[in-house]
Structure 1
Amino acid sequence: MNAFTELAGIELPIVQGPFGGGLSTVELLGTVSDGGGLGSYGAHILDGQGIVELVAACRARTRRPFNINLWVPQPGEPTAAADADKDRLRPYYAELGVEPPHEIAMPDHAEQLAAILESAPPIASFVMGIPDAGFLAAARERGILTFGTATTVEEAVAVQAAGMDAVVASGSDAGGHRGAFLRPVHESLVGTFSLIPQVAQAVSIPVVAAGGIADGRGIAAALLLGADAVQIGTGFLATEQSGAHPVHRAALRSERARTTVLTRLFSGRTARGIANEFVRDMVAFESDVPAYPAQNALMTPIRQRAAQRGDLELLNLWSGQSAALAGSADASEYLAQLREYLSAAADPNRS
C-alpha cells in the first residue's frame, strides 16, 4: 500500500487511462478494477442521464472502486462553425457520402456535474481544468474522491490548492488530448519523466504519472521519480476490451505507432495520435481549424463513416509514444503482466 492505493482503495498502483469519444467501455473498466487496479471511463460526451446510467452499469459490473472522467469546458468555445470551415472538409464529405452537421450540440457541463453528485461514483477525475469550488465541496460531502490532471507544475499546484485529492501528472508523451489549462498547449509540453519529479516535489497530494508508460520499466521509472502510481492509457486502449476500432487497435501494435503527432485537426483541441493520410494532407490547416467543439462536430460524420469502412487513414488514431511496449491484447492478461512486475520488484529475492 502507498498513499495513492490507500486513498483510492485499490491494490495495485495502476490506473487505466480514461478514453473519451466512445473509446471507453464498462467491460474494460470492470476488468481493470476487478484485477486490483483502477478502471476508468471517459464520459465527457454523455449528458446527465447518460452519466447516471453509466455509473449504475459500472456498479453492476464491479464492486471495486472505479473512476468517471469529465472534461472541463474552456472559455470562448465556439457554438457554431463557419461556412469556410465546412468548405475545407467538403471533399471528404463528398468522398464518404455524408453531410456536415447542421448544429453543434454538447452536453451541459453543469448537468454533468449534477449527475456525478447524484450517482456518486467512487472517483471523479477531470482534464482541461478544475471544476468549481461548489462542486468540489459537494463531492467531498458525498464521499466522492476528485482527481485533477496537470501538464505542468503550476497546474499541479493549482489542483492541490483547489482541494482535489490527487493529481494525474500527464506528460507530453501521452496519447489523446492534451489537458493544458493555465498556459497554451505549446507552452505546456513537458515530457513525463521531466514532469514527475518536479510535481512530486511541488505538491503533497498523491501523484499519478501518465504518458509513455506501458510496461514494468516505465512503472519503475515513474515510481523512482516520485510518483505514487501510474496511469496507462495506450496499453489498455490496444486491448480487445477497449472501444477502439479493430483497425485502430491493430495500428497501435504495428510499426505505424512509432510515428505520432500532435494535431488539432480531429477535434479542435490538441491531441497525440498516429500520423495518417488525413493528418498529412491537412497539416497546412492546423492553425486554421476552429476550436472544440466546432471542429469536433465537423469531423464527427467523417470519423463515423471512416469507422464503418475500417479506413484508418481517416480515423483519429490516438496513441502515446510507447505503444510498442504494450503487453497482451487481453486486458486481464496485460494487467497480470504488470502485477507480476510489481510483485517481482517488491521481492528482491525473486529471480
Structure 2
Amino acid sequence: MSQWPDTRILDLFGIELPIIQGPMAGATNASMVIAACNAGGLGSMPAAMLSLDQLREALRNIRQGTSKPFNVNFFCHQPPAPDEQRARDWKDLLEPYYRELGVDFDAPTPVSNRAPFDAAACEVLEEFKPEVVSFHFGLPEKALLERVKATGAKILSSATTVDEAVWLEQNGCDAIIAMGYEAGGHRGMFLSDDLSSQVGTFALVPQVVDAVNVPVIAAGAIADARGVAAAFMLGASAAQVGTAYLFTPEAKISASHHKALRTAKESETAITNLFTGRPARGILNRVMREVGPMSAKAPAFPLAGGALMPLRAKAEAEFSNLWAGQAFTLGRDIGTAELTRQLAEGALAKLAGR
C-alpha cells in the first residue's frame, strides 16, 4: 500500500499501514498488540495498570510474537495529595448502594490506582527498547523524557486542543495524536481541566495539522474505513482506533462491557469522572444515570474508583466503567488483524475514489 497521500507516519515508525491500535488499559493485552503489528499497523501496549513485572512479561511476549515496531503507552499524571474529607464525602454519596447490595460500608475502602510513568518504568523501556512510546496527560519531566528518547523511541502524546498540540511539539513529540471529544476512555487533556474547551475530531484535526509541523494522528470516533479516509482528508497522517478493537476476540473486557457495546444506542455515552476521578467517555449505566456522569465529590484521579470496587463485585454492569467512543455502534465482531487490514484497505479504496 504505497499510494497513501501522506506517508510520514509510515516512514517515522517503520510500519506498513497508517493504523494505530489504541492503547486501552485493562482491555488491551499482548495478543492484540502482536496481531495489530503483524497485520502491518502499530500495536500499542498500555502500561498504566500493570506492575513492572507484568509490563516486562507483556513486552517480552510482544518481542517474541512480532518483529515489527510497537508502541508502549504510559500515563504521566501527578499523584494527588491525600484528601480524607473528599474521600469520606464520596463514599457517603454511595452509601445507599452499599446498603442495597449488602456491602459492608464500614470496611476499609480499596485503593484504585493507575501508575504514572517513573524512573523504574523507564528502566523497563531501556531494557526492551520499543520503537514508539506514547504518553497520556502531557509528557513526563524532561530528564525522564530524554532517557526515553535515548533508547531510540519515537515520542507520541495526545492533544485535545490546538494549544496542547503546540505545547507537545515544543516539548519534544515526534508526532501528535489529535484526540477529539468523541473518543472513548480518558480525555488526554492536560493544560486545562475545562471540559467546555474540548473540541470534536472533525474540527480539531485540521486545526492541529495547520498549527504544528510534525505529523498528526487523528483519534476519536474513528471506527471504520470511512473514518480513516476522512482523517486523511483532514490532513492527518494516520488514524488511531480504539473502541472498534474492543469487539475483537483479543480484547480483554468483562461480559457486561461486551454486552453493552452490542446493545446500547449510539446516544448512550457520556463523559464521566465517577470511575477514576478524571473525565473519560463510557456507555451510560446505573451509577452514571443516578449520580450524574460528573460529580464534584469524586476524589482526584485515580482514586475515585476505590469506593466503587465493592459495588462492582456485586453488580458489575451497574458500577463499572464501560469505556467507548461515540462511534461504538460501528464495531464489528472480527479479529484484530482483519480489522487492521480492513480499516486500511477500505480507506485507501475510498481515497482513490473506488
3-state SS of 1:82 partner: helix
| Greater relative CO (CA pairs within 8 A, separation 6+) | 2
Deviates further, 280-289 or 152-161: 280-289
Does the CA contact (< 8 Å) of 1:159 and 1:167 recur in 2?
yes
Look up the match of 1:342.
347
1:148-163 aligned at under 5 Å gives the runs: 148-163=157-172
**Structure 1 residues 286 and 328, CA, compared in 2 at 3 Å: closer, same or farther?**
same
Q: Does 2:336 match 1:331?
A: yes
The structure 2 residue matched to 1:50, chosen from 54, 75, 85, is: 54
Q: Distance in 2 between matches of 1:103 and 1:46?
A: 15
Look up the match of 1:243.
252
3-state SS of 2:265 partner: helix
Q: Distance in 2 between matches of 1:191 and 1:285?
A: 19
The structure 1 residue matched to 2:126, chosen from 94, 106, 117, is: 117
Please report how far the alpha carbon of residue 32 of structure 1 lies from its aligned counterpart in structure 2 after TM superposition.
0.8
The structure 1 residue matched to 2:217, chosen from 208, 211, 214, is: 208
Look up the match of 2:227.
218
**Structure 1 residues 342 and 132, CA, compared in 2 at 3 Å: closer, same or farther?**
same
Look up the match of 2:76.
72
Q: Deviation per CA, 1:165-219, whole angstroms, max 9, x where unpaired?
A: 1111101000011111111141431000100001001111110000011111111
Does the CA contact (< 8 Å) of 1:39 and 1:66 recur in 2?
yes
1:305-324 aligned at under 5 Å gives the runs: 305=313, 311-324=316-329
Look up the match of 1:62.
66
Task: Look up the equivalent residue of 2:156 and give its one-letter code.
Answer: F
Q: Deviation per CA, 1:246-297, whole angstroms, max 9, x where unpaired?
A: 3312321224343111111111101111111111111187122111122122
The structure 2 residue matched to 1:273, chosen from 258, 266, 282, is: 282
Q: Distance in 2 between matches of 1:117 and 1:96?
A: 48
Q: Does 2:22 match 1:17?
A: yes
3-state SS of 1:70 partner: strand
Please report how far the alpha carbon of residue 91 of structure 1 lies from its aligned counterpart in structure 2 after TM superposition.
3.5
* TM-score (norm: length of structure 2): 0.89
Give ranges in structure 2 of 5+ residues lacking alignment.
none
Please report how far the alpha carbon of residue 75 of structure 1 lies from its aligned counterpart in structure 2 after TM superposition.
6.5
Q: Deviation per CA, 1:106-143, whole angstroms, max 9, x where unpaired?
A: 54632223332333222110011111221222222211
Look up the match of 1:261.
270
Task: Look up the equivalent residue of 1:89 and give its one-letter code.
Answer: L
Task: Look up the equivalent residue of 1:236 and give its one-letter code.
Answer: Y
Please report how far the alpha carbon of residue 42 of structure 1 lies from its aligned counterpart in structure 2 after TM superposition.
1.5
Look up the match of 1:88.
93
Q: Distance in 2 between matches of 1:78 and 1:175?
A: 28
Deviates further, 91-100 or 259-268: 91-100
Q: Distance in 2 between matches of 1:338 and 1:206?
A: 20
Deviates further, 131-140 or 33-42: 131-140
The structure 2 residue matched to 1:170, chosen from 166, 174, 179, is: 179
**Structure 1 residues 213 and 88, CA, compared in 2 at 3 Å: closer, same or farther?**
same
Q: Distance in 1 between matches of 2:227 and 2:51?
A: 36
Does the CA contact (< 8 Å) of 1:240 and 1:330 recur in 2?
yes
Q: Distance in 2 between matches of 1:122 and 1:284?
A: 37
Task: Look up the equivalent residue of 1:68 and give its one-letter code.
Answer: V
3-state SS of 1:253 partner: helix
**Structure 1 residues 199 and 65, CA, compared in 2 at 3 Å: closer, same or farther?**
same
The structure 2 residue matched to 1:189, chosen from 185, 191, 198, is: 198
**Structure 1 residues 56 and 314, CA, compared in 2 at 3 Å: closer, same or farther?**
same
Give the length in aligned residue pairs: 344
Q: Distance in 2 between matches of 1:300 and 1:248?
A: 16
Task: Look up the equivalent residue of 1:88 and give its one-letter code.
Answer: L
The two structures, once aligned, show a CA RMSD in angstroms of 2.2
Does the CA contact (< 8 Å) of 1:100 and 1:301 recur in 2?
no
> What is the percentage of aligned positions where both structures have the same residue?
38
Q: Does 2:143 match 1:139?
A: no
